[in-house]
A and B are shown apart, each in its own frame.
Chain A
Amino acid sequence: MSRISQMLPRHFGPYGGRYVPEMLVPALKELAQGYGQCKQDPQFQAQLTDLYHNYCGRPTPLYFADKLTKTLGGCKIYLKLEGLAHTGAHKINNALAQALLALRLGKTKIIAETGAGQHGLASATAAARCGLQCTVFMGEVDIRRQYPNVYAMKLLGAEVIPVTDGTKTLKDAVNATLKYWIQHLEDTHYILGSALGPFPFPVIVRDFQSIIGREVRTQILEREKRLPNHLVACVGGGSNAMGLFHPFLHESGIRFHGAEAGGRGPKIGDHAARFTNTPKVGIAQGYKSYFLQNDHGQLQDTHSVSAGLDYAGVGPELAWLYDQQLVEFSAITDVQALEAFTILTRLEGIIPALESAHAVARAMELAPTLPQDEIMVVNISGRGDKDIFITARELDRNNWMAFLKREVEDDQ
């Protein structure tokens, strides 16, 4: 914590900021102040650490992927298994911490947006644990493709509200949650799930996710007695990437790789690769960053096989790191991600989330080109159980469809 200065950064270069209607300003100020206090408060930190260890199962393993390394024939590949954290993804790191923050702020309700449903699930879980009422906003498209998480959220007592506007995915879920928040500021805290949105959300989410990178540092020093040469993460809004990267950003000689959703290809509406072609800066959802948008400034439709990467914007700190050429971005297509999904599953016995499979695919492109004495850490941000409705349909279509049909028929 000592590396981070006392003042919370509101801007990252020209990006970030607090571009919101005036009426949100008091709540965001209260949040920044409350977070600033929690950061300094050893009691808050101790409570969080205890929950990370005894509730979330942290530290998550750093696993040497021997077979993947040998198969690719390049650098040594380690996998940070965030999928083994409680609720199956890195999202719990932030959701649980923000739920504690909500209690400190005297709020009784929390709300959250979700894409893949992992952040919604983590928020619903944290809410149950902390005795908070929870409402989750989720695009209609995502509700369909990530239904296992929808069911789990409801089981945990959360209300899941379908968002039917715009693209009906993560971006519109963020809009809906922000609007609900504006109407319920008094008793409600918004647990934003990625390192985006108006200040102070990008810094709060990044700080809480930095546990990933801090653990990796300790673990890799223990195993290899040196720091890694490459860090790889998938990038939706950027929370698992910032969480892994941030504790290493001041080190020289490390390359940071971000994998974006290349979707079906480079056509407008077919992907969520914000840094390919000519990236365009804009202001939306309360912050300035790169957004997929047309010449008039209208945000564009996106597509990805993974709901968590299917987002038109990107967190402002990553935008700044891109400008400084510190983080290198590449687009991974749906097909590549599914291929990497299958390979990791068969080679290492690890079923990754489709989001994380993008990072694996990027690692598979890079590793063969890198010397064997270099070390790479890939963030497996989540596990793949939630994607059963997508992967089964893609990889085992006939059996899966027959199964679904039987289930429905038996019920009637």
Chain B
Amino acid sequence: MTNNIDRVLRERKGIQLMTHVVAGYPSLDMNVELIRLMAKHGVRLVEIQIPFTDPLADGPTIMRANQAALDQGITPDHCFELGAALAKELPDMGFIFMTYANIPFAMGMDHFLNRAAASGASGIILPDLAWDEPGGDYADLAQERGLHPIMVISPDTEEARLEKILTRASGLLYTTLKVGITGAGATLDQGGLDYVRDLKKKAGLPIAAGFGISSPEHVAMLRGLADVAVMGSHILNLLDHQGLEAVQDFLAACG
């Protein structure tokens, strides 16, 4: 079976949007509605974040969404069920589970990956599970189950480490555009864009770029450089302050 991430990136020309939703925020029902809307506007890659109490790489918008979801009693089970329902309804979509190390650690990595694969996911992102720590090198385990281990790097990642990361990464290599945390920003850093250009040449993998993308212009700036533009906080902010319609307008403008 072809992995949906591979299929999306092969079939589609031009830059793809990858959106980020926090499972259970503002509610599981709203997640479904939001992702349907995204699908309608051509989004084919969606990160579903399994909420965690201490999300180290997330800025205020996503962190608060994590907290609100947990306050409503969202568990990893709910997230896998959400993923499974969506994968059934939207079979062309590439779903990626994103969370922090302690969630798979508490569940057992094998079990976590089994659940993710059984839910129809195509990839996994675990930003604080360092590949050079005991129990952190999960790439093979993921690939055995048809899941791409999507590694997150930054413009500051040393060459030697990048090489080791590239031996593990598959499907998509995710680079942040700045050294920082998630959050909508006003401008994209030129250094970040240059980094993406260089990375694309040497990585031999499709490149996703994210952190700070918050306008159709930002997406346009990444055209020809990155294969995927990742958008999380900005869409959450739109949803929080202006509702689904604003998200719809925004996605249409990016398209």
Contacts from A to B (Cβ < 8 Å): 11, 14, 17-23, 25-26, 165-166, 171, 175, 178-179, 182-183, 185, 281-286, 288, 291, 293, 295-299
Contact = CB atoms under 8 A, between A and B. Distances in A.
Interface string B27-71: 000000000000000000000000011101101100110010010
B102 A166 contact: no
Interface in B134-152: 134, 136, 151-152
Contact of A182 (B101, B107, B161, B179): B179
B60 to A, nearest CB: 8
A21 B152 contact: yes
Contact of A282 (B56, B105, B179): B105
27 contacts: A14-B134, A19-B101, A19-B128, A19-B130, A20-B56, A20-B130, A21-B128, A21-B154, A22-B130, A22-B152, A22-B153, A22-B165, A23-B153, A23-B154, A179-B56, A182-B180, A283-B105, A284-B54, A284-B100, A285-B54, A293-B106, A296-B75, A296-B76, A297-B52, A297-B102, A297-B103, A298-B53
Contacts of A21: 56-57, 127-128, 152, 154
Nearest to A300: B53
Interface of B: 52-54, 56-57, 59-60, 63-64, 67, 70, 75-76, 100-103, 105-107, 127-130, 132-134, 136, 151-154, 156-158, 161, 165, 176, 179-181
A183 B180 contact: yes
A295 to B, nearest CB: 7
Contacts of B64: 165
Contacts of A296: 75-76, 103, 106-107
B56 A26 contact: no
B161 A297 contact: no
Nearest to B57: A21
Task: Tell me whether chain B's interface is mostly helix, strand or loop, or mixed.
Answer: loop
B176 A23 contact: yes
Contacts of B67: 165-166
Given A18-B130, A283-B128, 20 more contacts: A14-B134, A17-B133, A19-B133, A19-B136, A22-B130, A22-B151, A22-B153, A25-B158, A25-B161, A175-B54, A183-B180, A185-B179, A285-B54, A285-B56, A293-B102, A296-B76, A297-B103, A297-B105, A297-B107, A298-B53
B107 A299 contact: no
Contacts of A283: 100-102, 105, 128-129
B101 A23 contact: no
**Which of A281, A288, A299 has the most B CB atoms < 10 Å from its CB?**
A288
A22 B157 contact: yes
Contacts of A17: 130, 133-134
B102 A282 contact: yes
Contact of B181 (A11, A179, A282, A293): A179
Contact of A23 (B100, B102, B156, B165): B156
What 8 A-B pairs are tightest by C-beta distance, nearest first?
A297-B106, A23-B154, A297-B102, A283-B101, A299-B53, A17-B133, A21-B57, A21-B127
A22 B59 CA distance: 16
A23 B156 CA distance: 7
Contacts of A288: 133
Contacts of A291: 102
A401 B211 CA distance: 49
Given A22-B161, A178-B56, A297-B102, A183 B181 contact: yes
A297 B112 CA distance: 12
Contacts of A166: 53-54, 67
Contact of B52 (A165, A182, A281, A298): A298
A212 to B, nearest CB: 30
Contacts of A179: 56, 59, 181
A358 B106 CA distance: 31
Contacts of A282: 102, 105-106
A286 B100 CA distance: 11
B128 A20 contact: yes
Nearest to A298: B53
A291 B103 CA distance: 13
A400 to B, nearest CB: 34
Which of B70, B75, B153, B156 counts the most chain A CB atoms within 10 A? B156
B70 to A, nearest CB: 6
Contacts of B154: 21-23
B106 A286 contact: no
A23 B56 CA distance: 12
Contacts of A299: 53-54, 102
